[in-house]
Amino acid sequence: MSSNHPPASRIAQILVVDDEPDLRTLYELTLLREGYRVEAAGSVAEALQHLQAERFDAVITDMRLPDGLGMEILQRVQREQRGERCVVMTAYGSAENAVEALKAGAFDYLTKPVDLKQFRTVVASAVQAPAAPVRTAQPAAETGRGETPGGSGVAALDRLVGDSEPMRLVKSRIAKVARGMAPVLVRGESGTGKELVARAVHACSQRSEGPFVAVNCGAIPENLLEAEFFGARKGSYTGSAADRDGYFQAARGGTLFLDEIGDLPLAMQSKLLRAIQERSVRPIGSTQEDTVDVRIVSATHKDLQAEVQASRFRQDLFYRLNVIEIAVPALRDRREDLPALCAALLARIAHDAGMAMPVLSPSVIDRLAAHPLQGNVRELENLLHRAVALNDGSELHLDFEASGMPPLERAPAAPATVEAAPTQLPPSPRARIETPIAVPPDLQIYLDQQEREILVRALRESGFNRTAAAARLGLSLRQIRYRIARLGISTPNGGDDAAGAGDE
Ligand SMILES: Nc1ncnc2c1ncn2[C@@H]1O[C@H](COP(=O)(O)OP(=O)(O)OP(=O)(O)O)[C@@H](O)[C@H]1O
């Protein structure tokens, strides 16, 4: 456990607040055994005295105290912008209290009777050292205690291109909410960058070293959902030849991103709710529960409130998932981001194609600004992709005719991708073709053909597992999916990887 403590020589200091002497002693002993320094208080007043006298790394407080509520301690810490992370202990079944505490800025909550294993995990995660301040990626207007994201967080925020007011708000909100355990719901139209936002939340959090597991809830056949989410024991259903972890187990210590959460069938919604409440899951065919320490970030382009009204989405699950909401603005509401977005997307496209960055004239950007771009950044990306592919000079021309429809050329959704620490992916050198070739009459057709052949070969040699093929080619899963769709390559297993999820 000591690896979870703040680095260097300092021992984490914790304040425990509970009015029941037996429980207080139990918590104290548990924490002392973990090597922390502990102070204890039996009331709000006593706790505030301790806070006045010294600083702590974390405060663990019961909600109901003889002279008030644990919330008052949390509010004081927030108001004074202190560094303590607060964990609130709430009575079993009082979801309102837990959600209210998270909304008010609690780092996490524990349900009474407190499970000591969970207690240790939650405390360990609360006292983890804050990321080293590298530089402030965005104005700290909403970053509360001035916590700044670490290197990976800054990079993830930079990947979210756009300096318009709505985007600045999104980024400062990400930086603010990343550090707790509160579930985040990312809302926005298709193609606005919800997944990038979810990734940034993960990268800015102290879980950034852990896995980011992205699941497309709408892409998994209903009969497989439970096994995919919670895992399955060997022999528990036809074809399950070995024990298998689910997404929850794969995301341990990291973030589980539930994309298109509005597409989850009702029966699965109940099971997900239970997993979130209990913080444990039971693999199919197992008699034991697996404790899971994951942070849930979900996303939807649907109006979930309306889905609740229409009885297609469980109210209680919505309440649990929507503790913190991040609304990603449509591109039409931030047209001023267009030049920067075009530059960033073109740089990426040109880099992927191994070519020099083409020039986009101001008049073309003006024309883009007048275009509806209902498919948001994804449509813009596709438009530029096509323009680069058809480009015959140094200046880029856009074919608006072909982009009339929203989300263009969207590659089929894969059920899930798991990204462990990036270092786990072997850096694969880019393929290089060294055979001297004649000058082709149509460069684009020639390049497409080459690309197609390389992709098909890499896919075939990896048993049509796109994740493995992407890794071999130095591409991300998203990039290879996009290229497969763009070049119209069909794979025997359709949109899914042979090995299923969990192999990126
Ligand atoms: N602000 C941005 N800066 C740079 N690229 C962006 C931005 N927003 C979106 N993109 C790019 O646009 C494409 C779509 O983004 P993403 O998949 O995150 O959108 P989404 O809202 O999750 O879409 P959907 O709802 O359809 O799943 C991706 O290639 C992403 O990299």
Interval between CA 160 and ligand 1 midpoint (Å):
9
Mutation test residue for ligand 1: of 196, 300, 345, 476, the one with most atoms within 8 Å of CB: 196
pLDDT digits (tens, 9 = 90+) for 234-277: 877 666 678 889 999 999 999 999 999 999 999 999 999 999 98
Atom of ligand 1 nearest to the CA of 413: 27
Closest residue by Cα to atom 23, ligand 1, is 191
**Closest ligand 1 atom to 198 CA:** 18
The confidence band for 430, taking pLDDT boundaries of 50, 70 and 90, is: very low
Atom of ligand 1 nearest to the CA of 407: 26
Distance (angstroms) between ligand 1 centre and the Cα of 188 equals 10
Q: With 0-12 CB in 10 A as exposed, 13-18 as middle and 19+ as buried, what is 347?
A: exposed
Which contiguous run of DSSP H or E holds residue 153? helix 151-159
Q: What pLDDT is attached to residue 9? A: 56
Alpha-carbon gap, residue 310 to 329, rounded angstroms: 25
More confident residue, 443 or 103: 103
Name the average pLDDT for the chain.
Answer: 82
Greater pLDDT, 128 or 147: 128
Q: Measuring CA to CA, which residue among 224, 219, 316 is closest to residue 276?
A: 316
* Of residues 403, 386, 360, 401, the one with CA closest to residue 448: 386
For the cut 70, the answer to whether the pLDDT of residue 1 exceeds it is no
Cα 256 to averaged position of ligand 1 atoms, centre (Å)? 18
Q: Which atom of ligand 1 approaches the CA of 478 most closely?
A: 29
Give the whole-angstrom CA distance, residue 248 versus residue 502: 11
Which domains does the chain show, CATH number per domain?
A: 2-126 (3.40.50.2300), 140-327 (3.40.50.300), 331-403 (1.10.8.60), 427-504 (1.10.10.60)
Determine the residue of 194, 377, 476 to mutate for testing ligand 1's pocket, defined as the one with the most ligand atoms within 8 A of the Cβ atom. Answer: 377
Distance 379 CA to ligand 1 centre (A): 9
- Structure confidence at residue 385 (pLDDT): 84
Ligand 1 nearest-atom number relative to CA 190: 25
Residues of the chain above pLDDT 90, percent: 49
- 59 Rama class: left (phi>0) / alpha (psi -120 to 50) / beta: beta
What span, in angstroms and rounded, lies between the C-alpha atoms of 209 and 422? Answer: 9
Report CA(176)–ligand 1 centroid distance (Å): 21
Task: Give the pLDDT confidence score for residue 350 in this predicted structure.
Answer: 84
What are 92-104's pLDDT values in tens digits? 667 778 888 998 9
Q: Flag whether pLDDT at 297 surpasses 60.
A: yes
Looking from the CA of residue 192, the nearest atom of ligand 1 is 21
Lowest model confidence (mean pLDDT) among 77-86, 96-105, 349-358, 391-400: 391-400
CA of 238 to the centre of ligand 1 (A): 37
- pLDDT confidence of 413, banded at 50, 70, 90? low
Which has more pLDDT, 138 or 324? Answer: 324
How far away, in angstroms, is 73 Cα from ligand 1 center?
Answer: 39
Could you give the residue ranges of the DSSP H alpha helices within 356-486? 362-370, 376-390, 443-461, 466-473, 477-486
| pLDDT above 50: residue 329 | yes
Question: Would you tell me the crossing angle of helices 21-33 and 116-126 to the nearest 10 degrees?
Answer: 60
Distance of CA 137 to the CA centre of its chain: 18
Q: From ligand 1's centre to the CA of 482, what distance in Å?
A: 13
Omega of the bond leading into 6 within 30 degrees of 0 (cis): no
Spell out which residues line ligand 1, taking CB within 6 angstroms: 160-162, 188, 190-196, 259, 301, 341, 344, 377-378, 381
How much distance in Å is there from the Cα of 316 to the middle of ligand 1? Answer: 29
Asked if 107 and 85 touch (Cβ cutoff 8 Å), the reply is: yes
Higher-confidence position of 219 and 123: 123
Closest CA to 407 of 388, 389, 383, 371: 383
Which residue is closest in CA terms to ligand 1's atom 25? 190
pLDDT on residue 468? 80
Q: Check residue 140 and give its pLDDT.
A: 32
Query: Atom 18 (ligand 1): residue with closest C-alpha?
Result: 193
State residue 395's pLDDT score: 72
Residue 132 predicted with pLDDT over 70: no
Cα-to-centroid distance, 214 and ligand 1 (Å): 14
SS3 assignment for 20-63: CHHHHHHHHHHHHHCCCEEEEECCHHHHHHHHHHCCCCEEEEEC
Q: Cα–Cα distance between 401 and 390 in angstroms, integer?
A: 14
Give the pLDDT score at 278.
87
What is residue 144's predicted lDDT score, i.e. its pLDDT? 38
Which atom of ligand 1 has the smallest separation from the CA of 337? Answer: 1
**Residue length, the chain?**
504
Task: Output the pLDDT for position 443.
Answer: 72
pLDDT score at 409: 36
- pLDDT-based confidence at 50, cuts 50/70/90? very high
Element (H, E) at 68: strand 68-69
In terms of Cα–Cα distance, which of 358, 270, 369, 268 is closest to 316? 270
Report, as an integer, the average pLDDT of 474-501: 68
* Ligand 1 centroid distance, CA of 87 (Å): 34
Residue closest by Cα to atom 13 of ligand 1: 378
With pLDDT > 70 as the criterion, what percentage of the chain qualifies?
Answer: 80
| CA distance readout (Å), 298 to 113, 266, 304 | 28, 16, 12
